[in-house]
Amino acid sequence: MNEQDLLFTPATRAAAMIRQGRLSALKYVEAVLGAIAREQPRLNTFVEVLADDARREAKAADAAVRAGEKLGPLHGVPVHIKDLLDVKGVPTRKGSAIFADAPPAERDDVLVERLRAAGAIIIGKSTTPEFGNKGLTDSPPHGITRNPWNTARTSGGSSGGAAAAVAAGLGPLGLGTDGAGSVRGPAACCGVVGLKPTLGTVPYEATADAFGNNIFAGPLARTVTDAAVMHAVMTGGAPADPWSLKGEDRRALSPRLIGSDLSGVRIGFLRRCHNPRVAADVEANLEASLAAWAAMGAEVEEIVEEIDWIEYEGRVLYQGGFHASCGPFLPRWQNQMDPVTLAFMERGSHFTLADFRTAQFKRTALFRAIQGLLARYDFLVTPTASRTALPVEFDAANDEVEVDGVKCGITRQGWTAYQYPFNLTGHPALSLPSGFGADGLPTAVQIVGAWGAETDVLRLGALLEQARPWAQHRPPAG
């Protein structure tokens, strides 16, 4: 296998080759490190590359194979971690000048611990906008992360570094976070698979508001199987996350999804959520995806009733949260913060406690509305975004998104309207590629399932992946 093929080999296949002694973990890591060195100046996907640590861990992984030790499902596989989560010995800079000189983390985040226990080799920290604040990945201290399919376009946000790295072959797995679509949006922009799990399935220790949490951690991968294996490794309760302490196993597959005959499976699809338009190429690829499931026997029906997607109340929660959490930084750091963060904070400062509580009530109403839909349908399907990736210079605070030449509002109104609602309701949501747009960039569909049903969601995604293969496509190298 040549080096380029190795870089785009699925993680599960590479791990099997390492376990069988057919691939050296060190050779694999060296190939990935070499690719990062070549592509980092062009794409800017990493804040820090842990080359020495990765080589040392790879040598230990090879020794474990030779010694016949028990090996985990990700043994010898390079994984990168979004720079909002702690990796022991490495600063967590959060895309912000405020934390540019942060001390090294004293411990691994629980998810990093679980990845290491599964045999993964942590190869670096991937880029994020300041505090994961927006749907594009750029920050004052770390610059712009670019889309490997077209470097004039964004990689999405806020897990844009992870998505772009996976798409470009700079490590097969990335750990992202998703507070308003931040795994699924970058997955859509970069043509990879991204999963936001059910609230509580994968613990999220990094949030400051554990009980009101709407932030999730999830995998970015080139195949559904890779995403599923990484997700399974990270599931289970953790003491710091109360939502994760229910103790139930959420990985069971519904029997009717075991085969490829979807007779009796009901799919309800939404062309739009709050957004006024969807691009013609995105819609065409949505229709082709729905047709593929229908050909397997699924009942596919459009959902036409009006739903209050709480776009305004979502902004109250989101921007009000930034006002509260970042306010203490302003006296010293205001001139070094992202203008988008500052704009969100300023807007959030005008919301009242009554506004905030009303938004929380509306969140409950949205959850119940989605529960009502899922009583009728096994899955909900939408586009992941209304159009392909935006230009890298797009101002996420003020610019209006254009869809087929028509201005459609700011990003959450006009582009990513399909994503944030399911952060607020907690349902699992998977983004996977649906094809290419007219501009040659990836498009994507989103599958939403019942609480705890991410295995079913992943299975439906895998069936689409088989019917409309994607992973063989590679972006142009620099």
**DSSP per-residue letters across 98-136:** GGTTPPBBSS--HHHHHHHHTT-EEEEEE--SGGG-SSS
Q: Which residues pair with 150 in a beta bridge?
A: 147
Q: What is the pLDDT of residues 399-408, one digit of tens each?
A: 999 999 999 9
Helix axes 224-234, 454-467, angle to 10 degrees: 160
Q: Which of 82, 125, 134, 196 is catalytic?
A: 82
Q: Taking the CA of residue 63 as centre, how many other CA atoms within 13 Å lie in the half-sphere pointing to its CB? A: 6
How far is the C-alpha of 13 from the C-alpha of 5, rounded, in Å? 12
Can you list the positions of beta strands (E) in 15-71?
Answer: 46-49
Q: Tell me, what's the pLDDT at 476?
A: 94
- Catalytic residue status for 325: no
CA–centroid distance for 358 within its chain: 28
**What is 3-467's CATH topology?**
Amidase signature (AS) enzymes (3.90.1300)
pLDDT of residue 214: 96
Options 139, 158, 159, 386, the catalytic residue: 158
Q: Where are the domains of the chain?
A: 3-467
Residue 128: per-residue pLDDT: 98
pTM: 0.98
Question: CA 188 from chain center: how many Å?
Answer: 9
Q: Which of 182, 244, 289, 431 is catalytic?
A: 182
Per-residue pLDDT of the chain (478 residues; tens, 9 = 90+): 899 999 999 999 999 999 999 999 999 999 999 999 999 999 999 999 999 999 999 999 999 999 999 999 999 999 999 999 999 999 999 999 999 999 999 999 999 999 999 999 999 999 999 999 999 999 999 999 999 999 999 999 999 999 999 999 999 999 999 999 999 999 999 999 999 999 999 999 999 999 999 999 999 999 999 999 999 999 999 999 999 997 666 678 999 999 999 999 999 999 999 999 999 999 999 999 999 999 999 999 999 999 999 999 999 999 999 999 999 999 999 999 999 999 999 999 999 999 999 999 999 999 999 999 999 999 999 999 999 999 999 999 999 999 999 999 999 999 999 999 999 999 999 999 999 999 999 999 999 999 999 999 999 999 999 999 999 999 998 7
* Of the candidates 96, 135, 183, 128, the residue with the CA atom closest to the CA atom of residue 396: 135
Distance of CA 29 to the CA centre of its chain: 23
What would the pLDDT profile of 93-125 be if each residue is shown by its tens digit?
999 999 999 999 999 999 999 999 999 999 999
The verdict on whether 134 is a catalytic residue reads no
Token pair belonging to 192: 């990879």
Q: Is 158 a catalytic residue?
A: yes
Query: Which residue bears the tokens 């289970």?
Result: 236
Partner residues linked to 121 by β-bridges: 78
Query: Hey, what's the torsion of the CAs at 406, 407, 410, 412, to 10 degrees?
Result: -20
Here the tokens at position 204 are 């999220």
Which residue type sits at 205?
E
